[in-house]
Chain A
Amino acid sequence: AQKITQTQPGMFVQEKEAVTLDCTYDTSDQSYGLFWYKQPSSGEMIFLIYQGSYDEQNATEGRYSLNFQKARKSANLVISASQLGDSAMYFCAMREAPGGGKLIFGQGTELSVKP
């Protein structure tokens, strides 16, 4: 069964507007971590934001925030004030506590920012 689902293969957003990238996950563990990574065309995965399953507040890192809805098992990424440089692939990933450190990735969403 797919553990991370990203249902938006591609998204467009106007420069300076906000955009939400969807991510749902599936786990039976109570302790887990959720990550968002950005992958530009160069290939390197760049860490954006982290949310722990026991964190009571939604995570924020600059223009990035994570809309964490535990009961719905969703961890959507919100990018505010989009910039042209935000155009890239975005991956949601999960690490389960007994997983030994491995990250489980979704299929990704390709974000294109229009000027």
Chain B
Amino acid sequence: DAGVTQSPTHLIKTRGQQVTLRCSPKSGHDTVSWYQQALGQGPQFIFQYYEEEERQRGNFPDRFSGHQFPNYSSELNVNALLLGDSALYLCASSLGDGLRTEAFFGQGTRLTVV
């Protein structure tokens, strides 16, 4: 049973460009969350998708947008990249969002903006 898979693993983009990161959730999971982890920091919640809709959003600008497909996979899009967007982007999947629900994380996409 494959866990959460993210692609690509590494990416280098130029300031001002746009980027799309992809995530396939663990089999049977219907909820996908995205986190940004800057170097030396803990992950910060970006948003969560369930049934193809954004259900909750963290404190991130509109440059960050996402999508969830009918097969529950998800994309994170970042427009007008800034140097400060350089980070590890983690995708987490779960079945629902209950208090005790375990979130399974992928290995992340390391984005470098130059």
Binding site for B on A (CB under 8 A): 4, 31-33, 37, 42-47, 50, 52, 91, 93, 95, 97, 99-108
Chain B interface residue count: which class? 20 to 34
Task: Spot the interface stretch: B11-19, B20-28, B67-75, B103-111.
Answer: B103-111
CB of B56 within 8 A of CB of A100, answer: yes
B55 at interface by CB-CB < 8 Å: yes
Per the bound structure, the CA–CA distance linking A107 and B41 in Å amounts to 5
Residues of B within 8 A of A97 (CB): 99
Beyond the given A91-B43, A101-B98, A102-B58, please list 5 additional residue pairs across the A-B interface where CB-CB is below 8 A: A42-B107, A45-B92, A47-B102, A91-B42, A101-B56
Per the bound structure, the CA–CA distance linking A108 and B44 in Å amounts to 12
Per the bound structure, the CA–CA distance linking A43 and B99 in Å amounts to 24
Per the bound structure, the CA–CA distance linking A14 and B42 in Å amounts to 25
Residues of A within 8 A of B44 (CB): 105
Task: Please tell me which one of the listed residues A42, A44, A100, A108 contacts residue B48 in the complex, with CB atoms under 8 A apart.
Answer: A100
Per the bound structure, the CA–CA distance linking A103 and B47 in Å amounts to 11
Residue of A nearest to B50 (CB): A101
CB of B31 within 8 A of CB of A105, answer: no
CB of B48 within 8 A of CB of A102, answer: yes
Of B48, B90, B99, B101, which is in contact with the most chain A CB atoms at under 10 Å from its CB? B99
Residue of B nearest to A96 (CB): B99
